[in-house]
Structure formats: C-alpha cells, structure tokens
Amino acid sequence: MRKESLVSITDYSKDEILEVLETAKLFEANPNRRVLEGKVIATLFFEPSTRTRLSFETAVNRLGGRIIGFSDASTTSSTKGETLKDTIIMVSNYVDLIIMRHYLDGAARYASEVSPKPIINAGDGSNQHPSQTLLDLYSIYKTQGTLENLNITMVGDLKYGRTVHSLLMAMSHFHPTFHFVAPEELKMPDEYKVYCDKLGIPYEEHRDFTEDIIDRADILYMTRVQRERFTDLMEYEKVKNVYTLRNAMLAGSKPNLRILHPLPRVNEIAYDVDDNPKAYYFEQAKNGLYTRQAIICKVLGIKITD
Amino acid sequence: MELSDKELKVAALENGTVIDRIPSDQLFKVVSLLHLDTMDKSITIGNNLYSHKIGKKGIIKIADTFFKEEDIDKIAILAPKAKINIIKDYQVVHKQEVSLPDQLHDIIRCANPKCITNNEPMATKFDVIDKENVTVKCCYCEQAISKEQIKIK
C-alpha cells in the first residue's frame, strides 16, 4: 500500500492526527486556497452518500482542483461485472488522487494496494470512515481547546456504530475517560473494552441515560438507535425513546459541554436542543469541509503553513 | 538416537516428512491444505488412531518430500498440536512442533460475507492476533475471526 493513503484512522499516528487538525484550523481561517490548481481528483461513490460526497467535492473545489467521478455505481461498469481492481487502475490513469466510498468492507484497503495513486477512504461498508473521525476530533479540539483528559460520553448504538469505534481508537492517544450509554443489545463490543483495558483507559458502562452522566461529560456523542438493528422489536419499542436527549436534561451540564452527532439524526436529539448553545452537530458537519481539505493536502504532500 | 516402538513405525519411511498428532476430524483438511491430493509421491495416511495426548489422531507420512517452514506452519491453523518429523535414511533427523505464522497469506477465507475478499478475485491476508487461541484479523475488513469460523480457501 502507498503510505500516503488514508484508509483507516489507525493509519495515522498521534502526531499525524494533530498535524491534520492544525491544518484544518488554517483552512477554517481561509478555506479558499488554490493549491490543487491543475490537479484532477476522482470521487468514486460505489454507494451513494450525498453528505460525504458534497463535503469532499466542496473541499476540492475550494482548493482549485477539478473533479471526475460518479455518485452511484449503477451507472458504471461495475454493473457489467468489472472488478474493483480494474476500475481503480483505470481511473488512476487519469487522476492524482482517488476519494472513494464503497459498500463492501475492506474495499478501500484493497484499492490502496492496487492503485498507483493515493486513496482516501470515504467509508467502506461498516468498517472505516476516517474523515468522519478526524472531523469529530477537530470539533472536539476546537470546542474544548484540547484533546487531552476529556470525559467523552457516547450514547445510543455503540455496537454497530462505526463512528464511535473509530472515535474511541483515535481518542485513545489523549488520555480520555469514556462513558458508554447503550441498551443491552447495542452495547460496546468487548474488543473495544479490551482495547481500553490494555491501554489503561478508564471507562464506565451505563444502561440508563441520566442527568448525572450528562453533568460529568465534556463531549456528548449521540448516535442513532436504528430499528433494523434489533432482533426483538419489543426491545426496540422499549428503548427507542430512552436514549433521546432533551433540552431540560442539559440544565446542570458543564459550561464547556458540546453535543456531537454524525448526522442524520432522527429522534435521538429533541428539536428543543437545537437552540441550546451546547448543540454543536451542525457546526460539526461544517468542520468536515476544513478537515477534508486538510486530509487531501496531507495525502498529496501539500504543506499549508499560514 | 533411541527410538520408541511407535516412532520406529514412523521411521519406516526412508526419506520424507511425517506429520503426527493431527486431530482426526482435521486430517483430510490438512491433506487438502498441503495439496497432498495432487502429489505423486507415496503417501500413507492413518486416521482414528489412539493418542493419549489428543484422543483420536491422524498421521500422514509423505515420502521424499520436505516442506518449507511457512507451508508447515499453515497446519497450525487446523492442528495446533501437530508434530513434524523429518526422516532421512530411516532416522528422525529433526522434530518440530508447528507454530502459527504472524500473517496468513491466501490460506483461509474471511468469515464476513461483506468483506471485499469474498467479492473480488483476490488473495486474502490475515494478521494472527492470538496464537494460543487461533484468532486472526482480516487485513481488509478488519474483522476478527475465531478458530471455529476459520475456513480453508
């Protein structure tokens, strides 16, 4: 694999993560820098994801690059049975960088092995989505002024939610304390708890989403509890509203608390929270633009210094 | 070298490799793992023999064949307690236990149906994360696979 590619958040060391966040800060101050002038970038979306694609394409446009690609694999040769390898090699003849999303787990890692051009993984099945993790980190960094020694409380679907798993791995560099709030069926998988144990990272698990837990948090990371994840629909009916955050629950929370959510949200954050200054999920999405600009520059070896 | 009766039977091979202490239910999987079915050397296979160490065992003797270390180590996936005897001139010249390599290249299949390796004509690759309990992790989809889920390619 080319070492420039970004496939999984674990591809980046602590220093590399911090480097991306510092660059993102520069892009936030000035997002329009034509450092990709003359470069062509491919956005290959084998699975539709409008939010992620628009964010990446905006990033490229604001950097002065040109884009080719597709937003839905049904219009490509993969429907004729072309292998991923052939598609990637063919496209890499034309471009300087490939940003790809795929419905299969591990597709981006494989692409990074066969492609002579670097790959940015914009999500591979239920596996990794490193640009989401980096924008989450940037949002935490920006709102807390640091990534060190924070109380990170994760709520909702902690079993299937890849964003919480990647965030946990990335935050593990920075001495966090974790609180995992989830129903029994969707609790944090053992492998991540073992991972915390190995690194000596303290964590607590909770079934109930109470104000006592909220009051201790610096970051409240909400996720969607999806009906299709439950084998027992009775169980879903029981818990579906238990993990909903309402404005009244924030009365005693810390002043620096911020509420994050990877979006789209359904009913896990009540609309009355939106007007609370601690609600940060829309700005979090905006941070995705600066973070992705920083990732693109890092992968292409372009240094931004001021 | 002093040899017990049991090992003398094994040493009846003039030159070659003896793979001993294979669990009976894994014997034929070992045969296909090493591609013995397409080999033209003389091969003796015994199965359901009594072993006080592992219960019922299988044994394979392959004449005039010496495997590369990495091929032999593959056996550890199926038979972690297997013992290898190298025979030269009717003598056991080398004994070794198998040990899992750090990485498995294109030997087993990923248990995740949504893994790219099950959907593209490509080689698989796994990191061995727990040699004791035989747990491996797919280098592509990053899922851990336990011993029970392992399927030879």
Spot the catalytic one: A53, A129, A162, A298: A129
pLDDT tens, position by position, A18-46: 999 999 999 999 999 999 999 999 999 99
Q: How many other CB atoms are found less than 10 A from the CB of residue A147? A: 21
Spot the catalytic one: A101, A165, A258, A298: A101
Yes or no, beta carbons of B139 and A85 under 8 Å apart = no
Minimal Cα–Cα distance from B29 to chain A, Å?
28
Q: What is the pTM of this model?
A: 0.87
Yes or no, beta carbons of B116 and A85 under 8 Å apart = no
Rounded to whole angstroms, how far apart are CA atoms A263 and A259?
Answer: 12
Give A-chain residues touching B121 at CB under 8 angstroms.
Answer: 83
CA-nearest of A122, A131, A218, A198 to A167 is: A131
CATH 3.40.50.1370 boundaries in chain A: 31-128, 131-285
Q: What is the mean pLDDT of each run of 10 residues along chain B (153 residues)?
A: 50 86 92 92 91 86 90 87 92 91 92 96 95 91 90 84
CATH superfamily ID and name for A31-128: Aspartate/ornithine carbamoyltransferase (3.40.50.1370)
Hey, of B120, B130, B135, which one would you mutate to test binding to chain A, going by the most A CBs within 10 A of its CB?
Answer: B120
| Answer CATH for A131-285 from 3.40.50.10800, 3.60.40.10, 1.10.3720.10, 3.40.50.1370 | 3.40.50.1370
User: Residue B81: its pLDDT value, please?
Assistant: 87
Percent of chain A clearing pLDDT 90 (strictly above): 83
User: For chain B, which domains are there?
Assistant: 5-97 (3.30.70.140), 103-152 (2.30.30.20)
A80 is catalytic: yes
Q: Say yes or no: B135 contacts chain A, CB-CB below 8 A.
A: no
Pairing between β-strand A219-222 and β-strand A151-155 as defined by DSSP bridges: parallel
CA-nearest of B152, B25, B11 to B91 is: B11
Yes or no, beta carbons of A110 and B116 under 8 Å apart = yes
A51 is catalytic: yes
User: Residue B6: its pLDDT value, please?
Assistant: 55
Q: How many residues does chain A have?
A: 306
A101 is catalytic: yes
Is pLDDT at A2 greater than 80 in this prediction?
no
DSSP B13: S
- Note the ipTM here: 0.89
Percent of chain B clearing pLDDT 90 (strictly above): 59
Beginning with the edge strand found earlier in the chain, give each strand of the sheet holding A119-124 in spatial order.
Answer: A66-70, A40-45, A97-102, A119-124
Spot the catalytic one: A52, A87, A133, A143: A52
